[in-house]
């Protein structure tokens, strides 16, 4: 089975700084995750990378000992051949989603953590 590139929005209860550190440490320990963003006030986490979404959610739950709920999964095209064959409109749509998350991050003062 080939692993595809996904962006996944999760809800994880982050009540205090200790919970935040647990989640941050769990995300950094998972090698499949390329980038992550933690929305502390809204208890949401966005992770992107080459992984199987359900497996990563289970790993985060086990490592952080916090309840993890998958809110949204979005598949991203990562193969160069696919990008050459696809329309530019589809590629622009994918960029718009990423930019939307960046705007949300700026408005809510979210801390970002590079993987």
**Tally of domains within the chain:** 1
Look at residue 66 and give its three-state secondary structure.
Answer: coil
Neighbours of 86 (CB within 10 A): 13
Q: Residue 44: inside a domain, yes or no?
A: yes
- For the sheet containing 5-12, what is the strand order? 68-76, 5-12, 44-50, 33-39, 111-114
Say whether pLDDT at 83 is over 70.
no
pTM over 0.75: no
pLDDT for the residue numbered 46: 96
Q: Which residues contact 62 (CB under 8 A, 6 or more apart)?
A: none
pLDDT for the residue numbered 77: 75
The mean of the pLDDT values for the chain is 77
Residue 84 sits in a domain whose CATH number is: 3.30.70.100
Q: Which residues pair with 48 in a beta bridge?
A: 7, 35
Domain that holds residue 93: 5-110
Q: Find the mean pLDDT for residues 74-82.
A: 66
Say whether pLDDT at 90 is over 80.
no
Residue with tokens 């962006």: 7
pLDDT for the residue numbered 79: 55
Q: Residue 115: inside a domain, yes or no?
A: no
pLDDT for the residue numbered 113: 45
């Amino acid at each position: 089975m080939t692993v595809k590139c996904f962006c996944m929005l999760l809800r994880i209860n982050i009540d205090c700084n200790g919970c935040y550190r647990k989640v941050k440490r769990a995300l950094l320990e998972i090698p499949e995750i390329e980038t992550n963003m933690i929305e502390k006030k809204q208890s949401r986490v966005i992770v992107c990378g080459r992984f199987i979404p359900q497996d990563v959610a289970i790993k985060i739950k086990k490592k952080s000992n916090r309840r993890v709920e998958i809110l949204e999964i979005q598949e991203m095209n990562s193969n160069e051949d696919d990008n050459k064959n696809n329309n530019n409109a589809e590629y622009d749509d994918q960029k718009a989603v990423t930019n939307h998350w960046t705007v949300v991050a700026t408005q809510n003062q979210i801390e970002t953590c590079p993987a």
